[in-house]
Amino acid sequence: MPTTQEQITAVMQRIYNNGMTTLSGGNISIRNDDGSTWITPSGVDKGTLRPEDIVLINTDGSTQGLHRPSSEYPFHLAVYAARPEIRAVVHAHPPALVAFSISRTIPDTRIMPKARDICGPVGYSAYAIPGSTALADNIGRRFAEGYNLVLMENHGIVSAGHTVQEAFERMETLDFCARLTIRGNQLGNVRLLTDQQIDNARQNQTGELPEFDHSTIDAKERSLRRDMCVFIHRSCTRQLATSTEGTFSARLDENSFLITPYGVDRAMMGENDLVCIKDGTRERGKNPSHSVLLHRMIYERHSDINAIIMAHPPCVLAFGVTGIPYDTKTIPETYIMLRNIPLLPFGSQFIDREKTAGLISSKTPVVICENDCVIVTGKNILEAFDRLEVAEYSAQAIVNAGLVGGVKHIAEHDIAAINRTFNIS
């Protein structure tokens, strides 16, 4: 079990590496049972932060450590005073959330089905000088009202939770909503989910599968588990998935496959966390992703598909939240790799699994589900991940092209030549 200082350091490293703050910005704290508080230091590079750099603020206000505590510590203490059940506070400056902060609006979490459940309602705190008593009072009042996320006017975001992981996941999810909203607005008009659609998504969770004993893992399966974890971790680093969203699976043989578990942080996932599914049963003691039935149907219908990724790249999903078709005829590599990408109505992946599984094939390797995810397939995990990256990079190019003269697609006679050359039917 990591120490409190190690937990703080690990989360700050993720925040910094994911571009959510600068080397001098952001701070994290964890409250101890005795009322003392561990907090990140002032004036120390967040990119090289070490556990021994974390500072302890005692209940009498004195400090212990190598450095001064963060200058923002007053609002951390104000949050804990307002909500004694809170044990962790995270503050950062993700550019997308800062964009909302300085425009004085709040991202709408109805853009994705699970975001509202993770984030809850989002509060808004009036501006005050950083490190001031006024700022601490403003933020403390918002948390006293029951908010777990508070957007700070012309500043950044504060997130809280029972654990530092929970606080991070809330901030990360709201940041994803912000990034997706910005990308969607660059492309067209963003469409939000209704309360009924969100409720339908909750109610259509997969029931438990029967269990089987999986005591022996051979070299082939061990290798596949290792390869999957490499790409799962990379998807988080490259912001194609989040801690709480993103499902990977890969076929072991005709009757079995591996899939990511439900409720495990993707960035921290280990080989043994992956769940083996065999003949419709799950590895004993493990809970697979709620999309396990769709993955099973795709494998049963398509013997040439050996890997499936359901991910949340914001530029691809900009098409999913606006309803604008994703035309891949931009550069040859994109069209050859992705083919034509259908846009499925929201809920298709869990309401009409058989139809969705039937639509996906080697000729249609990528589909977008409105306001939810992109489903990418391949003959192996490498090809599926390659397609995911190509889809996101190409989507970003399309979105950006709208700002510099608009998209001019490859001519149809040139597409016909590509089809003949690369035997695309």
**pLDDT per position as a tens digit, 107-155:** 999 999 999 999 999 999 999 999 999 999 999 999 999 999 999 999 9
Q: Residue range 403-419: average pLDDT?
A: 95
Is 207-421 the same fold as 4-187? yes
Domain covering 4-187: architecture: 3-Layer(aba) Sandwich (3.40)
| DSSP bridge partners of 41 | 69
Name 88's Cβ contacts closer than 8 Å, sequence gap at least 6: 28, 29, 30, 31, 160, 161, 162, 163, 164, 166, 167
Q: What is the CATH number assigned to the segment(s) 207-421? A: 3.40.225.10
How many other CB atoms sit within 10 Å of the CB of residue 176?
27
Residue 205: predicted pLDDT: 72
What's the rounded Cα separation, in Å, for the pair 8 and 15? 11
Domain spans in the chain, listed from the N-terminal domain onward: 4-187, 207-421
**pLDDT per position as a tens digit, 388-397:** 999 999 999 9
Name the average pLDDT for the chain: 96
**pLDDT per position as a tens digit, 269-310:** 999 999 999 999 999 999 999 999 999 999 999 999 999 999
**pLDDT per position as a tens digit, 311-337:** 999 999 999 999 999 999 999 999 999
**∠ at Cα 154 (149, 158), nearest 5°?**
20
